[in-house]
Structure 1
Amino acid sequence: MSDVGAEPIEREPIVPRPVLREPAHRVSPQAVPFWRVSALIGDTVIVGAAAVAYVVVPDVPGWTIVLVLLVAAAAVAHVVLMPRIRYRVHRWEVTDTAVHTREGWIGRQTRIAPINRVQTVDSRQGALMRLFGLASITVTTASAAGPITVDCLDAETAREVVARLTAITAAGEDDAT
């Protein structure tokens, strides 16, 4: 068999795929002790409730103590591991064109919102966050996925980001509706 007279095979050019880089900035290092204390408060309530239920409820089967101890062990692991993992994963970046975040400690979520879709920029600082000098910003967009939140920024950094986003969005000509 000969390939004489056969049509040449057209191949599509190889186009490199764009690579999404991770956001440039980490959250504040103070996020680690903040997340640890937050987890400790919540987990103490859960373990305490389980222990009280074990003591107060009459005729509890003997195996339930194992369940209470497993809940306590999970709580300790949560308090010890979660803050460091979250700190390594959580990143954020604001540019003149987009807001980019990555978060999670078990699963990962990456969000990118074009600046021209930003509708509001809010900041939040609860009592515990104030104690650690932290604040969070929430960027509401015209997206069904909901707002983008950047948790645990240094309070001064959060103020600067809110001011920058306000200036960038005010300078834009497009309406985010």
Structure 2
Amino acid sequence: MWVTSSVVESTVVFAVLVVLAVWIDLFDLPWWVWVLLVAADVVYTAVVPQWRYLVHRWEVTDTAVYTQTGWWARERRIAPMSRIQTVDLVEGAVARLFGLATVTVTTASAAGALEIAGLDRDVARRLVDDLTVKADAVEGDAT
């Protein structure tokens, strides 16, 4: 899913650059500039999905949901079960092609929701059900 998303993103960026080149006549740029742009697209498509796979992690225990994300800086977040307000499941267009989904755990935190992307659709559904039961069983008002 992440490879396909990267290919689509880099293709769109390159298409925009070509349109801009036609519109403001950038074809006078040296050939090596175009080679660098294509190389940057290829590197982006090859590196970004692998990097995401190596960095993104998640875990659910009886007391909390843990996530790790980040590119240059790693962000680890913990959402105690007593603070969970909603648990959502989203299947984007690309994710649906691969049978994947994203689970979003919303709390009262100013940092925003925790997101677990790229889960198998069935795993995501079970996770939503499991988190809903666990959050409901914990005393607290989720604020």
| Aligned-partner residue type, residue 116 of structure 1 | S
Question: Which residues of structure 2 form unaligned runs of 5+?
Answer: none
Alignment correspondent of 2:55: 89
SS at match of 2:76: strand
Q: How far apart, in 1, do the equivalents of 2:22 and 2:32 lie?
A: 13
Q: How far apart, in 2, do the equivalents of 1:165 and 1:102 lie?
A: 18
Equivalent residue runs for 1:19-98 within 5 Å: 34-58=1-25, 60=26, 62-63=28-29, 65-98=31-64
Q: How far apart, in 2, do the equivalents of 1:49 and 1:64 lie?
A: 18
1:113 maps to 2:79: yes
Cα offset for 1:55? 3.3
8 Å Cα contact 1:140/1:146 also seen in 2: yes
| Aligned-partner residue type, residue 75 of structure 1 | D
Match of 2:109 among 126, 129, 143: 143
Cα offset for 1:56? 3.9
RMSD over equivalenced CA pairs, Å: 1.7
Alignment correspondent of 1:175: 141
SS at match of 2:28: coil
1:96-143 Cα offsets, whole Å, 9 max, x none, are: 111100112333211111111110000100121111010000000011
TM-score, length basis structure 1: 0.74
Displacement over 3 Å in runs of 4+: 60-69
Equivalent residue runs for 1:127-142 within 5 Å: 127-142=93-108
TM-score, length basis structure 2: 0.91
Alignment correspondent of 1:156: 122
Cα offset for 1:53? 2.2
8 Å Cα contact 1:51/1:68 also seen in 2: no
8 Å Cα contact 2:83/2:142 also seen in 1: yes
- Select the structure of larger CA radius of gyration: 1
8 Å Cα contact 2:21/2:27 also seen in 1: no
Question: What is the identity percentage for the equivalent residue pairs of Structure 1 and Structure 2?
Answer: 46
**As a proportion of its length, which structure holds more strand?**
2
**As a proportion of its length, which structure holds more helix?**
2
Cα offset for 1:68? 3.8
